[in-house]
Structure 1
Amino acid sequence: MAPRRQVGAIGELPPGSDCHTLRCCVPTGECLRPQDHIAPEDPRDSVRVTCNNDACPAGRYMHRECFDLWEQTVLTYLKSCGRARSWSERQRHQNLWTKKGYDLAFKACGCLCGRGHLKKDLDWTPRSEDHDKRRRRRARTAAVGLPKAPAPEGRGRAESLSSSGSCSPPSSGSPTHPHGKNGSSKTEIVSDRIRAGSGANGIFSRRLDFSTFNLLPKHKLNSYHIKMEDEGNHGNDDTRCFILSTLAGQHKSRVTCALCDDTMFVFDRYPLVDGTFFLSPRQHTKSAVEVKVEGRTQYLTCVCMGCLERCPPDRAINCRFCGQKWDGSSLVLGTMYSYDIFMATPCCAERLKCNNCFKPLLHPQQRLNFYSDYSHTVTCPSCHAVDAHFVKPLAYCFTKQQFPLYQQWP
């Protein structure tokens, strides 16, 4: 790693600068554009950062190229930190400047002042063409009832493919799902008119508004709880392309909830569905689509927003053995998770038994490190059977009854 510049040079302006320009505050190596000073009045092609040292004299701006290079060094450090070791590159990049990632990586973010740590200012955007595009996009979002997304601080949740890249997911008969199988809606009628040419052979609907999400709690009406934009360049998001191409190959423009059997439209842009997708090594329902992921057979499954949020309350499901409710309200809507979301948080020892000999695979108090670990294939230490032992049928693990109903493996 290149040595830091001397702290004593922080307050000095390079030749040709004036009091109206600032030097790049990149903390590692040398500035890639030392002759190009940053004007705070119009800091185009730059990134603003904050230092937690209130008396920091190093400045608040970096050239975009300098920031990108420095950010890569921080991402490299994050790759070796705790739970971030299991994240994909896209997950690390997305989580880096949120509390979830920054709490792990801040030690690699030392400022030139020597007394603080830098962090990207997520609430600031330069006045440029890109900023104008984002402003127009936010205006469109506000017009359909979704407020501007706050900085995603302080929320722990399961990882998703799209949120990471990966990664954390319309039905009838409930107030949150007006697109149900038992009725029609204005959105359904209009979306059918413009379905042709909307991508993936034209079988997917174009979402006209986000009104179905307005019945969520107000603090969830933002792009942190609802997946709104592609991660890839020019709309080529890997997760979205995977889901749409898979469903297009099956000629499926609608999917069914694994819990309540309600039908949901699939849309050609994020949020892809009024719920969330996930991959499981077990086919929980007949409607789950078989796919191959890294050589393994998985099943693309969907859960609707009403069941995730337990709204209405009669959609809640409980563990058959300990009675604990399953809660999917922390999952991101409209995207896909790379593991079985129902089996990612086993609540009792019965969920930790072998699928073959029914002996414990783990100590009752022992838990695996990551949500995705419970969807992996493991070998039973007792009978040596190889299986995704922690993934069990939904009907075996859960019930809508409020009290535990123990039953033997079906």
Structure 2
Amino acid sequence: MLMDCGAIGVQHVVPQQQQNQQYFTFRDRKKSCDSDEYRKRSNTLLSRGSEKRWPKRDMGPQFELRCCVDPEILRINVDRQYYFEDDTVHKNGSVFHKRENYDNLLANIPKSKFNGIHIKMEDDCPQGGDDVRLCLLKSLGAHNLRNIPCVGCHDDLKVYDKYPLIDGTFYISTVSQYGPKTEISLDGRRYFLQQLCAKCLWSDWSCKKCGKNDWFDGKSFILGTLYYFDILSAGRCCSPTCDTCQSPIMVRDQMYQQLLNGNYATINEPQSCSSCGSHKFHLIRDIQTCQIIAKPPT
């Protein structure tokens, strides 16, 4: 083998024995990299001949939302309401309203907030594949609920067949504050479906017990969709009290810290009163203990 040494024109001859030694060194190195010992140390032992090259990605908690509709109740309601003879069904194809404009929303929120960030729009999800929308419409349609009352002001809200579903927002709670007791299931546990209108969400609320008015930020919630926790109970001001004897409920520091960090699942856990022994959902804020002090400008 000849090697050119550049401008001096000298050729260097590499011995055949040295060539073979370099070849075997490279071959042995490649063989050692393919060995099980090397692959075990480099954590790639299962990558050869196996489709599971990487560990399964942790997608976090998966919430399974289901309807809680008794088939017998569904049959009775359909027969009682003359479903197939209903004018709305003939016009829209369902018992729910078809949205024609957004005048009611624009009357309560600024025009700068009328976008896909603050309002759940139909284009945000695949058509016909949104489990939340289908579950809510199926649960409400089984009871022929085309209009539902707001928990705050008790005004009727129209239920639409597409996003945004209402001129407000849905949320679930372990306690039914007002309106029909429509139930849905989340991870095998039953909750009541509640709702607040856009006017109440964009209003200022205060607590009747302590007088504070900075615990509820309704403007931060997305309109027309569903929240998996009680949004009225998420903000804390004064210590919770027992619904039976009105004694203060002793909340563990760890649980209280979880609430401050945004872990609202602890709100749905029942607590025991140390005074009367009542075991209820004491962390759920009673709607009667709060009031609206300022409505959004029109």
How would you bin the TM-score normalised by the shorter chain?
Answer: 0.5 to 0.7
SS of corresponding position for 1:302: strand
- Closer, same or farther: CA 230–300 of 1 in aligned 2, 3 Å: farther
Matched letter for residue 332 of structure 1:
I
SS of corresponding position for 2:99: coil
Say whether the 8 Å CA contact 1:253–1:266 is kept in structure 2.
Answer: yes
CA distance in structure 1 between the partners assigned to 2:87 and 2:118 by the alignment: 29
Aligned pair 1:213/2:105, yes or no? yes
Counterpart of 2:207 in structure 1 is: 319
Matched letter for residue 319 of structure 1:
C
Counterpart of 1:370 in structure 2 is: 262
Residues 228-247 of structure 1: matches in 2 within 5 Å?
228-229=121-122, 233-247=126-140
Counterpart of 2:90 in structure 1 is: 196
- Aligned residues with identical type, % of pairs: 28
Aligned pair 1:336/2:226, yes or no? yes
Aligned pair 1:360/2:250, yes or no? yes
CA distance in structure 1 between the partners assigned to 2:151 and 2:117 by the alignment: 24
Matched letter for residue 240 of structure 1:
R
- Closer, same or farther: CA 362–219 of 1 in aligned 2, 3 Å: farther
Aligned pair 1:254/2:147, yes or no? yes
Aligned pair 1:276/2:169, yes or no? yes
CA distance in structure 2 between the partners assigned to 1:271 and 1:304 by the alignment: 12
| Pairs aligned (count) | 212
SS of corresponding position for 2:284: coil
Cα deviation code 1:252-296 (max 9, x no counterpart): 111111111111110000000101111110010133423343332
Counterpart of 2:116 in structure 1 is: 223
Say whether the 8 Å CA contact 2:139–2:183 is kept in structure 1.
Answer: no
CA distance in structure 2 between the partners assigned to 1:227 and 1:283 by the alignment: 24
The structure whose residues are more often helix, as a share, is 2
| TM-score where L is the length of structure 1 | 0.45
Counterpart of 1:147 in structure 2 is: none
CA distance in structure 2 between the partners assigned to 1:388 and 1:295 by the alignment: 18
How far residue 387 of structure 1 moved from its aligned partner, in angstroms, is 3.4
How far residue 339 of structure 1 moved from its aligned partner, in angstroms, is 1.1
Larger radius of gyration: 2
- Closer, same or farther: CA 221–241 of 1 in aligned 2, 3 Å: same
How far residue 336 of structure 1 moved from its aligned partner, in angstroms, is 1.0
- Closer, same or farther: CA 89–297 of 1 in aligned 2, 3 Å: closer
Matched letter for residue 222 of structure 1:
N
SS of corresponding position for 2:235: coil
Matched letter for residue 285 of structure 2:
K
CA distance in structure 2 between the partners assigned to 1:207 and 1:251 by the alignment: 18
Matched letter for residue 336 of structure 1:
L
**Unpaired runs of 5+ in structure 2?**
1-53, 66-85
CA distance in structure 2 between the partners assigned to 1:210 and 1:401 by the alignment: 26
Matched letter for residue 208 of structure 1:
E
CA RMSD of superposed structures (Å): 3.3
Matched letter for residue 102 of structure 2:
F
SS of corresponding position for 2:195: strand
Say whether the 8 Å CA contact 1:292–1:298 is kept in structure 2.
Answer: yes
Counterpart of 1:19 in structure 2 is: none
**Unpaired runs of 5+ in structure 1?**
1-72, 80-84, 91-160, 162-191, 311-315, 403-410
- Closer, same or farther: CA 264–400 of 1 in aligned 2, 3 Å: closer
How far residue 334 of structure 1 moved from its aligned partner, in angstroms, is 0.7
Cα deviation code 1:324-379 (max 9, x no counterpart): 2233111111111111110011122x23x455663321359943232522432144
- Closer, same or farther: CA 373–89 of 1 in aligned 2, 3 Å: closer
Matched letter for residue 142 of structure 2:
G
Counterpart of 2:37 in structure 1 is: none
SS of corresponding position for 2:210: coil
SS of corresponding position for 2:162: coil
Counterpart of 2:280 in structure 1 is: 387
- Closer, same or farther: CA 324–267 of 1 in aligned 2, 3 Å: same
Residues 76-95 of structure 1: matches in 2 within 5 Å?
76=57, 79=59, 88=62
Counterpart of 1:299 in structure 2 is: 192
How far residue 321 of structure 1 moved from its aligned partner, in angstroms, is 2.3
CA distance in structure 2 between the partners assigned to 1:254 and 1:283 by the alignment: 17
How far residue 230 of structure 1 moved from its aligned partner, in angstroms, is 6.0
Say whether the 8 Å CA contact 1:274–1:333 is kept in structure 2.
Answer: yes
Counterpart of 2:26 in structure 1 is: none
SS of corresponding position for 1:225: coil
How far residue 231 of structure 1 moved from its aligned partner, in angstroms, is 5.7
Say whether the 8 Å CA contact 1:278–1:339 is kept in structure 2.
Answer: yes
| TM-score where L is the length of structure 2 | 0.61
CA distance in structure 1 between the partners assigned to 2:103 and 2:87 by the alignment: 19
CA distance in structure 2 between the partners assigned to 1:289 and 1:194 by the alignment: 22
